[in-house]
Every structure is written in C-alpha cells, then in structure tokens.
Amino acid sequence: MAADWSFEQFATSIAQMDKTELKQRIKSFPGRFRLDFTEDYLNAAPADRLRHILLAAMFCTKGRN
C-alpha cells in the first residue's frame, strides 16, 4: 500500500508542475536511462505530454526497484 501512496503522491505533484518545472525535471532526470529531448521539442510539446513523459519515466525507474 505504501508504494501506491508514493506513486499517487508523485503523480499529484507532477500534475501541479508548470511547463518550466517539467522541462527542468526531464532534463535532469536521475534514472538509469537518460531522457534526451531537444530544447525545441520540449518547448513545442504541450505540458500534458511532458507530464506523461516524466510520469512514465519515473514509473519505469521505480518499477525496477
């Protein structure tokens, strides 16, 4: 249950991030793999797409622990 709560808490925090913070988190993602998006892509992508990318990356990273 604690893992579910952590995921929900993280998902809620991502939902509240603005585009600037989402871009920064994606660029400095601390996972086992690098998220390599161009600045042009990050600027053009809607915030909801950036939220999806960050949430999916975190889910993949945490799911392996």
Residue 29 DSSP class: -
What integer pLDDT is reported at residue 19 of this predicted model? 98
What integer pLDDT is reported at residue 4 of this predicted model? 57
CA distance 65 to 62: 5
- 13 against 64, higher pLDDT: 13
Domain with 45 in it: 17-63
| Structure confidence by residue, pLDDT tens digits, 11-46 | 999 999 999 999 999 999 988 888 999 999 999 999
Q: Is residue 51 part of a domain?
A: yes
* pTM check: above 0.85: no
CA distance 64 to 23: 24
Q: Is residue 30 part of a domain?
A: yes
Q: Is residue 2 part of a domain?
A: no
Q: Is residue 53 part of a domain?
A: yes
What integer pLDDT is reported at residue 18 of this predicted model? 98
- Structural domains of the chain, count: 1
Q: Is residue 23 part of a domain?
A: yes
Least confident window among 6-10, 15-19, 56-60: 6-10
